[in-house]
Amino acid sequence: MQRLPDFEAWAIFATIAKEGSFAKAAKVLSLSQATVSKAMTRLEARTQTTLFHRTSRGISLTESGYGVLEGANDLLNRGEEVEAEIKEQSESLRGLIRVSSPMSFGLSNLAPLLPNFLDKHPDIEVDIQFNDQQVDLVTGRFDFSLRIANLVDSSLLARHLCPIRILLVGSPAYFSKHGTPKHPSDLADHKALLYAYDDYGTNWRFHHEKEGEFAQALPPSRLRVNNGDALQPALKQGLGLALQPDFLVWEALQSGELVQVMPDWKVAPIALYIITPPGRLRPARVKALIEYLVKHLSSAPWKELEF
């Protein structure tokens, strides 16, 4: 099996040659003299070459040592350049940020926030993937994602932004024609419109403060979509009722195009989170965007509304 080069030993070798002694190199590198000595023993054994003459008066490079010194210096210098570059990127507000966001929420609430952030930070680039499916942040190489979910028992690194209420809504015309449900059992006689990625499926569960839990199986649906916005035209035209997040319907509820029913029967609460991959070190540019979104999305316009 092929082994990687011993980069640490080559860097120590270059430092010894520069400083003129094992002791001085150990001090510069904040290593013990024993560690430095073992690195040279390891390197000479690996290359089957003597790199230093060692005498009681000091050390000097062998001809072989002189022959590889330039290459070792190049390795050390390039390593220092790479570390300096990545450190500068992590500490400066420049570079690429990759974000994943739900489609409807991202278009209506995330996208409008981006111009001001980009104006303020001209050296930052933002690459956003809008997708209602939950993505793997690590394999997708995302810096973070916005996620609307119930993460009470999640092991993910999550920052809570604001609660999201799930409301049972329909148009006034629909309820005028089909009646207004008062209890979850009434939904057996209604036309439900479904969102593919929610946790409710065709068996909606509710909780009432006094009456407790109740689950109701739904009749076959005429419309099932993988994006919440796609339900809005059918809802407003009176083709059915649906469970919808407050951020998606708050304006229609205010205008009267949609109305909420069964407000005392609650669906399990969810919330808006910023999810980050494992590890807590974030480049400055990523921290800047996260804090910017926390500031603006934690005070979302629908958050304080009463429906």
Report how far apart, in Å, the C-alpha atoms of 81 and of each of 7, 85, 208, 288 are. 15, 6, 62, 25
Residue 307 confidence (pLDDT) above 60: no
* Mean of per-residue pLDDT scores for the chain: 88
Structural domain boundaries in the chain: 7-91, 95-164+270-297, 166-266
Question: Whole-angstrom Cα distance, residue 21 to residue 29?
Answer: 12
Q: What is the rounded average pLDDT of the residues 9-26? A: 91
Residue 205 confidence (pLDDT) above 80: yes
Helix axes 63-91, 7-19, angle to 10 degrees: 110
Q: How confident is the model at residue 293 (pLDDT cuts 50, 70, 90)?
A: very high
pLDDT tens-place string over residues 164-201 = 999 999 999 999 999 999 999 999 999 999 998 887 88
Q: How many residues make up the chain in this entry?
A: 307
Question: Whole-angstrom Cα distance, residue 180 to residue 176?
Answer: 8
Q: Which fold has domain 95-164+270-297?
A: D-Maltodextrin-Binding Protein; domain 2 (3.40.190)
DSSP state string for 30-65: T--HHHHHHHHHHHHHHHT---EEEETTEEEE-HHH
Q: How confident is the model at residue 151 (pLDDT cuts 50, 70, 90)?
A: confident
CATH architecture assigned to 166-266: 3-Layer(aba) Sandwich (3.40)
pLDDT score for 284: 87
Domain 95-164+270-297 identical in fold to domain 166-266:
yes
Report how far apart, in Å, the C-alpha atoms of 202 and of each of 187, 219, 227, 243, 268 are. 11, 8, 17, 11, 15
Which tokens belong to 47?
């290359």
Question: Whole-angstrom Cα distance, residue 210 to residue 166?
Answer: 19
pLDDT tens-place string over residues 232-253 = 999 999 999 999 999 999 999 9
Rounded-to-10 torsion of CA 294, 299, 302, 305: 150
Domain 7-91 has CATH 3.10.20.30: no
Judged by DSSP in three states, 4 sits in coil
